[in-house]
Amino acid sequence: MKTIRLIACACAVAASVITGCAARPDAQRGGFSSVRQITHDRTGGARIAWRAGGPADAQVAREVDAMLAQPLGPDQAVQIALLAHPKLQAEYEHLGVAQADLVAAGLLRNPVFSAMARWPSGGGGPNVEIGVAADFLDVLFIGARKRIAAAEFEHEKLNVADAVVAHAAEVRAAFYQVQGARQMLELRRTVLTAEEAATETSQRMLAAGNISQLDADREQAMLEQSRVELFDAEADTRQKLERLAAAMGMPGRIERLQIPDRLPAPPGGDEALDDLVDRALEQRLDLAAAKQEAVALERSLGLARRTALVNEAEVGVSTERDPEGGSGRVTGPNISIPLPIFDFGQARVASARHRLAESRRLEQAMAQQARSDVRIAYADMTAARRRFEHFRDHVLPLRQRIVQQSQLHYNAMLIGVFELLEAKQNEIDAGREYVAALTDYWTSRAELERAVGGRVAATAPSTQPTTIPAASQPAMPDNMHHHH
Amino acid sequence: MISRRNLIISGAATIAAGSLVQSLARGQATTSATQTTSYIPVVTPNGSTLPWTMEDGFKTFHLTAEPVKREFSPGMVVNCWGYNGQTPGPTIEAVEGDRVRIYVHNKLPEPTSIHWHGIILPNGMDGVSGLTQPHIGVGETFVYEFELKEHGTRMYHPHADEMLQMAMGMQGFFIIHPKTPRPPEQRVDRDFCIFLQEWFVPPGAATPNPMVMTDFNLFTFNSRVYPGTAPLVVRRGQRMRIRFANLSMDSHPIHFHGHHGVHTATDGGEIPPAGRWPVVTLNVPPGHTMDLEFVADNPGDWPLHCHKNHHAMNAMSHDVPNMTGVDMSGVEKKVSGLLPGYMNMGAAGMYDMSDMKMPLPPNTLPMMAGDGPFGPIGMGGMFTIIKIRDGIDESYADPGWYAHPPGSVARKVAGPAAATQRRIVYTCPMHEEIRSDKPGRCPICKMQLVPVK
């Protein structure tokens, strides 16, 4: 009876010093909602959802289906990826792990109950020993441990958020690649139409006896070469589409993706480099995570210092019924403390100190890398911008004018249909270079957003997009009539 | 004693001298209205005659060699070189026996001179730069003086950097009327001058390329192309003369319709009547002048054109793929999907070019143009129209289109007339009952079948 009361008492003591309530790993609570808040603006307003196996999962699935039924923009593609991709769901589970670790840090170590029964070899009743012991230093350090765990939890949240933002940028880049490839494909098809017209004309001329088989074959050879280039463009488009589908978390369902065939018109200007570098250093989540890790390691160092000499001490109570002794039962407290003779925590402290220094250095290195990332991506984006602007403002208008003038020269029978078609092809080729530059612009812009750790603003609205290829030809006069 | 005659002469000289001073100051002489002309003055279609004044017994002319802008036909202006703002330069007209004095002022960017082609004169007046005179430098003025010892159709043109200067349009007529006019029945009533020239002006551009030697694309009468060439208006029954001059690189066989003509003179002199060649086409080689005469007794609107067929068209390319006879059905749609203004051309010949008013490059003429009373005429280049009518007055204004007498115009008929369909039937000489519509052999006796009479 006494024994049982003893145990209960010890448990009560232990229970009373438990501070903090155990948080249930609830997808709606705590860590995940912070991640949701952190990522919201950085992904351009996309929502995240942790499919934890509840009824909300069906809702998310319906939402994704509804989005797929509409034409997608880059924002929608990002949204679908954040809801559907299993890689991100794995990240959210990792958050759950960190959350559980945080809870575990706030729990006191359980007291230990021990019982022993020994029978004397000579016979007689057993020697029963019962005791309860607990680590009393635990109570002193639990606060520090919880603070360390809290810092590590923050670190983990930032890591998860960073993974989300990085993935969003990846989806965006893949999206633009698809649009660029599709636009290129459309232009290649137009080039092919021009070449087919030229080849068919030469076939008709051959049939009428106006050119030789040699001339007709030469024309055909160019066409067949172009056909191969078209196949390559089709393959490239398909590959990019599969990559996008993979990034969105739905491989094999590319037919469901309704993606506009044209890249969006680029903005008139982009944020300045210095502003972007500053923003990157402020808002990049991997930098923030590194900072947070340093905080955790600093707290660990503090704890290591405090517990250098003694980090555990056991205190307990035990009772023994001694058949040999006169009173029949002995009861009393016990205490055990490791003596810091060999190990007085010097290794643990040194390790913690270096870990902290390491993380600080890493933080510096990451900050430098972040600056570089921004500068490189910015340079790429600016180069692409210069290219597409030059094509849009100089090369394409010239090519369009050449086509118009060629049409006039054709009307006067000063050039033939082959030269006219060639002028058109050259215009379309210039259009393809424009599209390539535009694709590079959008892709490197997505890369820049990755480097900045958030969206990049436009400093001027987009101007009218160029029609590619241009259809501006001199109008036919009203008194035209055909003699054919 | 001062006779009245002397007074009048000196008075006239004073007046003439006074007006000469004025005219020198203005740079443009006035035609001396006091001289009575004993000749029918020549008409230079799309050109002019150079006015003169009398200056101490010399018929005095002023020429300025300078760059000029010449409209070849409405819609095309060419950067040429010429005289007194024109190409060809204004026609110099004088009479056999005149003493002429010609001032030549050079406003070209390079030196020049003037050679008087076919005229007998002192060697030093011949105008060959470097050989018979120093060149007329930029900004300089030279004077030529000589007596006209013969009559006929002559020319004037540079003899310094000639290839370039003539290719740029520097040429003009020098007409010398005979001292003794012809008897009335042979007198020429209408006298025209047409200068032949060839040019290469890159389409869409405006400056002739003087280095082109054979591949010309524009061919002109008096530096004009059809439909920019003025018609030659003649009263029915007049004896007309056309004097041709050619300083181009090719011969031009000039053809006319509705009449037979006679080649009456070259720049070497008149052809004696027995030696005059009857022609409907008169070949004018480079460096020649040729006079053509006929009586305009057949009324109507008659073409006058070079019979080198490409010379009666405006600029076209010779490298265009040959689409004649090519079936382009279905292909046009494919091309016009890419090029909305596109239309197939040339598959059924080029007649369509004369009718369509398609937009052209700037400063470019349609290859075939001109509208007549019955539809598009579709010509260009060395082509003009001789309009012969009754009732043409001295103004020789364009009388419009010829009103054909009824029944004298080619007309369409409905379907093939039965009379034109002659089926040839073959028969055997021995066996009349055998009839076949193909030649062959008689099935009975194997003789050759013959047509039924």
Instruction: Provide CB contacts within 8 A for B404, sequence distance 6+.
Output: B300
Q: What is the mean pLDDT of chain A?
A: 86
The arrangement of strands across the sheet holding B426-427 comes to B435-436, B426-427, B450-451
* pLDDT tens digits, B65-89: 999 999 999 999 999 999 999 999 9
* pLDDT tens digits, B293-334: 999 999 999 999 999 999 999 998 888 889 899 888 888 888
What percent of chain A stands above pLDDT 70? 88
For A119, other C-beta atoms within 10 Å of its C-beta total 10
pTM, to two decimals: 0.75
pLDDT given at position B329: 84
What percent of chain B stands above pLDDT 70? 89
Average pLDDT of B366-371? Answer: 92
Residue B252: both structure tokens together? 């031009």
Cα distance between the two ends of chain B: 100
pLDDT tier at A465, thresholds 50, 70, 90 = low
pLDDT given at position A13: 52
pLDDT given at position A9: 53
Asked whether the beta carbons of A403 and A424 are under 8 A apart, the reply is yes
Q: Which of A403, A412, A475 has the CB atom closest to B361's CB atom?
A: A412
pLDDT tier at A8, thresholds 50, 70, 90 = low
> Which residues 174-203 on chain A approach chain B with CB closer than 8 angstroms?
190, 193-194, 196-197, 200-201
Question: Is residue A54's pLDDT more than 90?
Answer: no
The reply to whether residue A414 touches residue B340, judged by beta carbons under 8 angstroms, is: no
Tell me how close the Cα of A216 comes to any Cα of chain B, in angstroms. 12
pLDDT given at position B285: 97
ipTM, interface predicted TM-score of the complex: 0.74
The reply to whether residue B320 touches residue A479, judged by beta carbons under 8 angstroms, is: no
pLDDT given at position B9: 47
Question: Is residue B271's pLDDT more than 60?
Answer: yes
Q: Which residues of A touch B344 (CB under 8 A)?
A: 417, 484
Q: Which residues of A touch B361 (CB under 8 A)?
A: 405, 408-409, 412, 414
Asked whether the beta carbons of B69 and B63 are under 8 A apart, the reply is no
* pLDDT tens digits, A378-387: 999 999 999 9
Question: Looking at A20-29, B32-41, B265-274, which range is the least confident one?
Answer: A20-29
pLDDT tier at A33, thresholds 50, 70, 90 = confident
Q: Which residues of A touch B334 (CB under 8 A)?
A: 193, 196-197, 200
Which has more confidence, A337 or B27? Answer: A337
| CA B250, chain centre distance (Å) | 14
Tell me how close the Cα of A476 comes to any Cα of chain B, in angstroms. 6
Average pLDDT of A233-250? Answer: 93
Q: Which of B331, B340, B357 has the CB atom closest to A473's CB atom?
A: B340
Question: Is residue A476's pLDDT more than 50?
Answer: no
pLDDT tier at B344, thresholds 50, 70, 90 = confident
pLDDT tier at B384, thresholds 50, 70, 90 = very high
Residue B213: both structure tokens together? 């030697």
Average pLDDT of A187-213? Answer: 92
Question: Looking at A50-64, A109-123, B365-379, B408-422, which range is the least confident one?
Answer: B408-422
* pLDDT tens digits, A393-407: 999 999 999 999 999
pLDDT tier at A41, thresholds 50, 70, 90 = confident
Q: Which residues of B touch A216 (CB under 8 A)?
A: none
pLDDT given at position A326: 62
In whole angstroms, give the CA distance from residue A426 to residue A190: 11
Best mutation site among B318, B324, B342 for testing chain A: the one with the most A CBs within 10 Å?
A: B342
Question: Is residue B138's pLDDT more than 70?
Answer: yes
Average pLDDT of B176-201? Answer: 95
Query: Pseudo-torsion of CA A64, A67, A68, A70, nearest 10°?
Result: 170
pLDDT tier at B397, thresholds 50, 70, 90 = very high
> Positive or negative, the Cα torsion across A288, A293, A299, A302?
negative
Question: Looking at A195-204, A421-430, B21-30, B259-268, which range is the least confident one?
Answer: B21-30
> Rounded to the nearest 5°, which phi and psi values hold at B218?
-135, 135
Shortest CA distance from B331: residue in chain A: A197
> Rounded to the nearest 5°, which phi and psi values hold at B86?
-135, 155
> Rounded to the nearest 5°, which phi and psi values hold at A254?
-65, -25
Q: Which residues of A touch B342 (CB under 8 A)?
A: 407, 410, 417, 420
pLDDT tier at A455, thresholds 50, 70, 90 = confident
Q: Which of A194, A413, A421 has the CB atom closest to B367's CB atom?
A: A413
Query: Taking every pair of C-alpha atoms in chain B, what is the biggest distance, in angstroms?
Result: 118
Question: Looking at A195-209, B80-94, B115-129, B139-153, which range is the least confident one?
Answer: A195-209
In the A/B pair of chains, how many CB contacts fall below 8 A? 128
* pLDDT tens digits, A342-373: 888 899 999 999 999 999 999 999 999 999 99
The reply to whether residue B364 touches residue A408, judged by beta carbons under 8 angstroms, is: yes
pLDDT tier at A274, thresholds 50, 70, 90 = very high
Query: Pseudo-torsion of CA B7, B12, B14, B20, nearest 10°?
Result: -170
Q: Which residues of B touch A188 (CB under 8 A)?
A: none
pLDDT given at position B18: 44
Best mutation site among A186, A411, A426 for testing chain B: the one with the most B CBs within 10 Å?
A: A411
pLDDT given at position B232: 98
Best mutation site among B326, B334, B352 for testing chain A: the one with the most A CBs within 10 Å?
A: B326
Question: Is residue A152's pLDDT more than 80?
Answer: yes
Question: Looking at A423-437, B197-211, B320-334, which range is the least confident one?
Answer: B320-334
pLDDT given at position A123: 81
Q: Which residues of A touch B331 (CB under 8 A)?
A: 197, 200-201, 204
Question: Is residue A151's pLDDT more than 80?
Answer: yes
Highest mean pLDDT among A73-82, A161-170, B136-145, B410-419: B136-145
The reply to whether residue B326 touches residue A207, judged by beta carbons under 8 angstroms, is: yes
Among chain B, residues having any CB pair with chain A shorter than 8 Å are 203-204, 315-317, 319-329, 331, 334-335, 337-348, 350-353, 355-361, 364, 366-367
Q: Which residues of B touch A207 (CB under 8 A)?
A: 326-327
Q: Which of B317, B328, B331 has the CB atom closest to A413's CB atom?
A: B317
The reply to whether residue B321 touches residue A416, judged by beta carbons under 8 angstroms, is: yes
pLDDT given at position B409: 95
Q: Which residues of A touch B325 (CB under 8 A)?
A: 208-210
In whole angstroms, give the CA distance from residue A387 to residue A439: 11
pLDDT given at position B295: 97
pLDDT given at position A24: 41
pLDDT given at position B101: 98
In whole angstroms, give the CA distance from residue A219 to residue B152: 60
Shortest CA distance from B320: residue in chain A: A416
Instruction: Provide CB contacts within 8 A for A360, sequence distance 6+.
Output: A294
pLDDT given at position B446: 79
Q: Which residues of B touch A473 (CB under 8 A)?
A: 339-341
pLDDT given at position B442: 82
Question: Is residue A475's pLDDT more than 50?
Answer: no
pLDDT tier at B335, thresholds 50, 70, 90 = confident
pLDDT tier at A296, thresholds 50, 70, 90 = very high
Question: Is residue B11's pLDDT more than 60?
Answer: no
pLDDT given at position A7: 57
Q: Which residues of A touch B376 (CB under 8 A)?
A: none
pLDDT given at position A308: 86
Classify residue B143 by its DSSP letter: E
Asked whether the beta carbons of B305 and B382 are under 8 A apart, the reply is yes
pLDDT given at position A10: 54
| CA A436, chain centre distance (Å) | 25
Q: CB contact, 8 Å: A212 with chain B?
A: no
Question: Is residue B436's pLDDT more than 70?
Answer: yes
pLDDT given at position B8: 47
Average pLDDT of B251-280? Answer: 96
Best mutation site among A417, A473, A476, A481 for testing chain B: the one with the most B CBs within 10 Å?
A: A417
Q: Which residues of B touch A424 (CB under 8 A)?
A: 338-339
The reply to whether residue A207 touches residue B204, judged by beta carbons under 8 angstroms, is: no
